[in-house]
Chains A and B, each alone.
Chain A
Amino acid sequence: MALVRVVLERLAELVLTLLVASVAIYGALYLAPGNPATLLAGGHITPSVLREIERQLHLNEPFFVRYWDWLDGILHGNLGKSFVYRESVTSLLASRVLNSVYLVSYSAVVIIVGGVALGLAAALRRRLGVAITAGTSVGLATPSFVAAIMLITLFAVNLKWFPAYGTGSGFAGQLRHLTLPAVALALSWLAYTAQLTKAAVREELGKDQVETAQSRGIRPRHVVTRHVLRNALIPITTVSGITVAGLVAGDVVVEQAFGINGLGSFLVQATLQKDFASMQAVALILVAAFVVVNGIVDVAGLFLDPRLREPAV
């Protein structure tokens, strides 16, 4: 089966990308200034103590030995030990990672559902299209921190519909707390997705296969779903992937703005405190999320576009 083979090829590529990324992440911090041992001991120590700490932490081993230990640990769920918190990074992240996952997923849903619906409406209804294009152009130009401030002012301070801070508890509470951050994070990407969807749908509307369907008396609803949207889904999926991957980066800003205790704000703290193990772990998770999302989009593209299924030779 050609499809299975191509999917396996893509998965192999994905694993390889992750490996290369992990070397880069580990290497970048290995080369960074500042000795973790000094940091850990806290200032004045004798060289012999320093060497003892270095030996315990395997800091005097060659790069690839240390990298391998690190990778081996990660594969067994051990992300290393934070010298700042004196705690395992895995347990530090455990409570935070979900907050970020919820925020990014919520945002992704808002973007994909909202962006595709708006784009489709804009492409199919001329009048509405003008208004939506104007609205999304503003949205596109609004950075997430500006959106965050505006949303907090309007919906949290003035209207008091949604809380401005924290993560809440229970499903409903979390949903309420995460609504403003998710919208702030989503806004410009939603606008982008809407404009792209509109362009893709317009393009497909002008294609010959649509004319064929009309000439055969297919209902307009089916013409749109089977011969316009189905085909436009290919570029829309590609862009949604880029979008969701972009959210991972935008997440850092929004978590800070709304005081959400997630990976983004943790990364900022870790960086300020030179907490190498934590920085490495978070960076690796963010990169992995990025790569996995792109991998999913790649595979989705194979299912959506039969022309891509020919195995590369």
Chain B
Amino acid sequence: MTLLEIHRLSLDLEVDGELRRIIHDVTLELDDGEAVGLVGESGAGKSMTSRAVIRLLPRGARLGGEVEFDGRSVPAMDARALRAYRSRDVAMIFQDARSHINPVRTIGAFLTEALVERGERKADAVTVVSELLETVGIHDVPHRLRQYPHELSGGMLQRVMIAAALAIRPRLLLADEPTTALDVTTQAEVMAHLDRQRRGRGLAMLFVTHDLELAAAVCDRIAVIYAGCLVEECPASTVHDRVLHPYTAGLLASRPSATRRAARLAAIPGRPQAAYEIAPGCPFVARCPYVVDLCRTTRPPLRLIGASRVACHRAEELAGQLSVGRFSGEERARA
């Protein structure tokens, strides 16, 4: 069943008094219990897309298109409905837990606030969050609840943030680079908790990351976004064997990996572009090694190819060559 439907989303933000395009065109669906990884380089508009889902946007933002949660239009909600939606249906996990948790209030106050705010009894809320803290591996709970954020490590704070998100029993988690700010060993640990809890509870998740491999590991499907445009969407299971967009292939190739040592072969040339910088043609045209004239003049629409959707004029034609993992692996083997 479709839980979240993002249809032709566009977003403009005010920058120095002028509207600037941040998201061109993103169409995406999430089923109940499904995890979708939203992947792309920094500045692509991943955070803004996830924020559009909860309508947490900067002042003066202009939203186009539609975001429907369980059949209800999010942009059309009034203040009251929006608060109810935020306090029951969807929970956001931010990247930087240290700045996103109020430094002068206790961990307990942070964890129980949303529950108490929506009318639950304080004592019940404490019971709920205490159990949750244990499940994400935080012990000595009564003591922790009385502590302040500065007394906890970064990894612990992020687990507190995860517990807070789970506490409201949402149907959808929005996780915006939840482990990027942590050191590598902590990243794995925190990610494991998030993944286990999400699966155990059957929650849907929109997982924002710049790390395609990580997204493929914890999500069911992957959506790749470049300069505010959705360029490819595919099952996570096919990412290593068959990607259809040159940008996705580039992302895959630019990440060093323990299992695929030929990693840096095909790093993407040029710098990432912002949505407002791109010309009318394909957004990736300036950095794509496979450009033809058509790419410069016409923006490719999303087309269904197999189980994937891709916005590339030459998708069918390039299909075999793009599967970086296998290709470079074979190269190595022969050499």
Contacts and interface: CB of A to CB of B under 8 A. Distances in A.
Contact of A216 (B86, B103, B105, B150): B86
B187 to A, nearest CB: 20
B102 A227 contact: yes
A299 to B, nearest CB: 16
B181 to A, nearest CB: 12
Given A215-B92, A234-B104, A208 B54 contact: no
B interface residue count range (under 10 / 10 to 19 / 20 to 34 / 35 or more): 20 to 34
Interface in B279-316: none
Contacts of A234: 104
Contacts of A307: 103-104, 148, 150
Given A226-B105, A230-B104, A231-B104, A219 B99 contact: no
Most buried by B among A216, A218, A227, A234: A216
Query: Which of B56, B85, B104, B164: most chain A CB closer than 10 A?
Result: B104
A215 B102 contact: no
A76 B200 CA distance: 72
Given A208-B96, A222-B117, A217 B104 contact: no
B94 A217 contact: no
Contact of A212 (B88, B101, B117): B101
B148 A306 contact: yes
B83 A219 contact: yes
Contacts of A175: none
Contact of A208 (B85, B88, B100, B104): B100
Nearest to B165: A216
Contacts of A218: 83, 87, 113-114, 117
B100 A217 contact: no
Contacts of B100: 208-209, 211-212
A226 B91 CA distance: 20
B277 to A, nearest CB: 27
Contacts of B150: 306-307
Given A230-B104, A305-B104, A306-B104, A212 B94 contact: yes
Interface string A188-211: 000000000000000000011101
Contacts of B91: 215-216
B86 A215 contact: yes
A208 B157 CA distance: 14
A216 B104 contact: no
A60 interface: no
B118 interface: yes
B99 A207 contact: yes
A306 B110 CA distance: 15
A211 B56 contact: yes
Interface string A238-263: 00000000000000000000000000
Contacts, number: 76
Interface string B244-255: 000000000000
Interface residues of A, number: 22
Contact of B103 (A209, A213, A217, A219): A209
A164 to B, nearest CB: 45
Given A211-B56, A214-B56, A216-B91, A231 B114 contact: no
Given A208-B99, A209-B99, A307-B150, A215 B104 contact: no
Contact of B102 (A209, A217, A219): A209
A226 B54 contact: no
A212 B104 CA distance: 14
B44 to A, nearest CB: 20
A304 B104 contact: yes
A134 to B, nearest CB: 23
Interface in B112-137: 113-114, 117-118
A305 B54 CA distance: 31
Contact of A219 (B92, B94, B117, B164): B117
A253 B100 CA distance: 47
Contacts of B103: 209, 231, 306-307
A215 B54 contact: yes
B19 interface: no
Nearest to B168: A216
Interface in A138-165: none
B84 interface: yes
A303 to B, nearest CB: 10
Contacts of A212: 92, 94, 100-102
A304 B150 CA distance: 14
B102 A226 contact: yes
Nearest to A228: B102
Interface of B: 54, 56, 82-88, 91-92, 94, 96, 99-105, 113-114, 117-118, 148, 150, 164, 168
12 contacts: A207-B99, A208-B94, A208-B96, A209-B99, A212-B92, A212-B102, A214-B86, A217-B83, A217-B85, A217-B118, A218-B83, A307-B103
* Minimum-distance CB pairs A-B, first 7: A217-B87, A217-B86, A209-B102, A208-B99, A217-B83, A306-B148, A216-B114
